Amino acid sequence: MEDLAEKKARAAEKWAYYRESNPKKRKRLSDHTFAFCIDDIGAGWEYVHFELDGKTVSSFRISYIGPDVRAFVECVTALKEKDFEEFVFLDEPGEHHVLLSRRQEKIYVELPGMEDGFFLRYDVFAEKILESINYEKP
């Protein structure tokens, strides 16, 4: 299993690729629509869906015993002051790791089940996450 340093190094490689790309390619890499949806499936369980460009790219069940969606919102909001976060949703059995790496106004996101991550404007990502649970903007 990867340690945190390896995950940060992988994110740094993605950022290097992004930076080295020409402006047209950077726009293509980060110009996405994004949605985050939550379904309450009862008894403390929720199902979360991440959508990119109108397609579900990652979805999984999360347990009532671990960090909830509100904790994820706090993690995303904390990225205003940080450049890297790993958030772990618990399932039974197992875990779902979400990697978030921010550089200025952009964010790089890796989700469970995705072969590769994606870039997006941080404000768009944060707004959609906040909207999902009717949080007020910070």
pLDDT in tens, 50-108: 999 999 999 999 988 888 888 999 999 999 999 999 999 998 888 999 999 999 999 99
Q: With a cut of 90, say whether residue 137 has pLDDT above it.
A: no
Is residue 103 within 8 A of residue 123, CB to CB? The reply is no
Query: Cis omega before residue 112 (within 30°)?
Result: no
The pTM for the full model equals 0.89
- Average pLDDT value for residue range 101-120: 95
Q: With a cut of 90, say whether residue 46 has pLDDT above it.
A: no
Q: Where are the beta strands (DSSP E) in 26-104?
A: 34-42, 45-52, 55-62, 84-90, 95-103
Q: Could you state, in order of their start, the residue ranges of all structural domains in the chain?
A: 4-132
Determine whether domain 4-132 maps to CATH 3.30.2450. Answer: yes
Q: With a cut of 60, say whether residue 136 has pLDDT above it.
A: no
Roughly how many angstroms between the first and final C-alpha of the chain, as a whole number? Answer: 35
